[in-house]
Amino acid sequence: MSLVSSATRIQQKPLPAGGYVLWAFGGGKGGIGKSFLTTNIAVCVAQIGYTVTLVDLDLTGANLHTCIGNDIPKLGLSDFLQGKTANLKDLTTDSKINRLSLVGGVNDSFVPSQITPENKQLLKDQLRGLPSQFVFLDLGAGASDLNAEFFTFADQSVLITTPEPTSIENSYQFIRTAFHRVLKQVELATNSRALFNGAMENRLAYGIRTPQDLVRYIMRTDADVGARLKADLDRFKLKLILNQVRTKTDIEIGYAIKTVCRQYFGMNMDFMGFLDFDNAAWQSARKKQPLVLAFPFSHLSGNLFNIAKSLVDPRQNSAIL
Amino acid sequence: MGSQQHQSLYDILEVPRDAAQEDIHKAFMRAKHTYSPDSPALYSVFTKEEADELLRLIEEAYAILGNPRKRKEYDDGIDRKSNVVTPGHLSLVSEGTQAPPSNAKPAPVKDKVGRSGYSRYEIDDSLEKEIETKEVFDGAFLQRIRTYKNISIDQVTKATRIGRHYLIAVEANDFRSLPAPVFVRGFIVQIAKMLNLPEKRVADSFMKLLKESTQK
């Protein structure tokens, strides 16, 4: 029985052509504002007129229901991943916010290593089958394999970071994990393990210092594998949001990370925008309300809406703010 | 890092082929900031040496793309060949810095050590005399003095904030690549100060050469 009321389906805008459906929000460090941003951007997108389902994939502890002021879900992803239910629609609950629904996360001592490949595949298929126009995955903190898997699986991958060196360091670690995941997929698909292993073992001799060097080496050495690798990396739509900005010079860090990402990883990254550190953030969290609803006229609300708009319509490619 | 050099200059600055000059300048300023020594974005990925190397590439790219005339030459070159320009092309720009000092002849028994505020060097009396009586200070002579005094282009850039590409242009007497005369005069004064030369005499002489060259 679907708990998503049909009322949420009314008055939904048609998707913009080329718009993306499944987004993942991740980041290397805890406390940088992933859940905050996932929730608020989801609310913005819902208010613009699209149906959105939030999915809480943080295996260290579910929080999304708290962010939107829902009760603690009776059924969550832990039930799904343990095989107690095979249908994500059973886990979807409404929220007080029009067009926004939630798939609750794990809330007991559920150990991630228990997730089988079959369950993961089932989850992926089910995510694609959800009825909403947009599905937002909130990943947990850290560069785990699971996070990398779902981060690269999504149509659009949003990386959240703050200007602190610790956060930046963890962000690069996160990208590294995602990059390796793409590499591994290509290696498996093209059966070219020897090629990749050989490259890594002799990397000093081949002048391979950065991930981009590795990509270039592969492209030079084996045209087919190289083409596949390049195509898969290009298909990976990486976006960056810089959160908790304190000073004007912090803003440049977003552009700098984008440049470094290209030079070091050879991956394109869009810098979507920055958000100032704002007390309204923790104040709305205490109220268990999204900021854009608790403080709709705040500076941050405007910024969040702008980011949501340009994420929704890829044709609006301007970096905002 | 050798693979960095297979990119086109536009790739290095991350601008499209048809970018406006202003956008190229903005991209250059942004890239300089990204690879500056205390940039947070470098933390845990690039070492200082690698960042310096990238910065050098970026400055060399801007030396060409930031100059409309050189940019056009470069564009024509790309259209004729493939999209990739090898580093050999770029090194023409910095040839000046790699030339050995022309006064590297061993000085006769000298214990006198000169100090410039940035370096130490062995005093060459004949050159010092030449400097004193010199009337015409062109870029080549300035370079000679600079290398004599063991001051590198990097030191000059750091101390004076004059872009590397402009310093190289000054020393190469590449007047057309220099900005408006009012700026150039300022550059020469600063360079002369650094080299302990009489500022007015040097600046007047160089600016005269510049003016003459534009009148040809």
pLDDT (tens place) for every residue of chain A, 321 residues total: 344 444 444 467 777 666 668 999 999 888 899 999 999 999 999 999 999 999 999 887 788 888 888 888 888 888 888 778 888 888 999 999 999 999 988 776 666 666 788 888 999 999 988 889 999 999 988 888 889 999 999 999 999 999 999 999 999 999 999 999 999 999 999 999 999 999 988 888 888 889 999 999 999 899 999 999 999 998 888 999 999 999 988 999 999 999 999 889 989 999 999 999 999 999 999 999 999 999 999 999 999 999 999 888 866 554 443
Q: Are the CB atoms for B60 and B94 separated by under 8 Å? A: yes
Contacts of A209 in chain B (CB under 8 A): 1, 50
Give per-residue pLDDT as tens, B161-206. 888 889 999 999 999 888 888 889 999 999 999 998 999 999 999 9
Q: From the list B14, B39, B50, which residue is nearest A262 (CB)?
A: B14
Q: Residue A258's closest chain B neighbor by CA?
A: B41
The pLDDT, as a whole number, for residue B216 is 65
Contacts of B30 in chain A (CB under 8 A): 252, 255-256, 259
Q: From the list B3, B6, B41, which residue is nearest A257 (CB)?
A: B41
Please indicate whether, in this complex, the C-beta atoms of B2 and A253 are within 8 angstroms of each other.
Answer: no
Please indicate whether, in this complex, the C-beta atoms of A207 and B2 are within 8 angstroms of each other.
Answer: yes
B54 in A contact zone (CB under 8 Å): yes
B33 in A contact zone (CB under 8 Å): yes
B47 in A contact zone (CB under 8 Å): no
Contacts 24+ apart (CB under 8 A), B27-30: B28/B58, B28/B61, B28/B62, B28/B66, B30/A252, B30/A255, B30/A256, B30/A259
Contacts of B109 (CB under 8 A, 6+ apart): none
Please indicate whether, in this complex, the C-beta atoms of B40 and A172 are within 8 angstroms of each other.
Answer: no
Give per-residue pLDDT as tens, B22-72. 999 999 998 888 888 888 888 888 888 888 888 888 998 999 998 888 898
Q: From the list B2, B33, B50, which residue is nearest A256 (CB)?
A: B33
Contacts of A207 in chain B (CB under 8 A): 1-3
pTM over 0.95: no
Q: Give the DSSP letter of residue A143.
A: -
Contacts of A164 in chain B (CB under 8 A): 40
Amino acid code (one letter) for B24: I
Residue with more model confidence, A304 or B96? A304
B97 pLDDT higher than 50: no
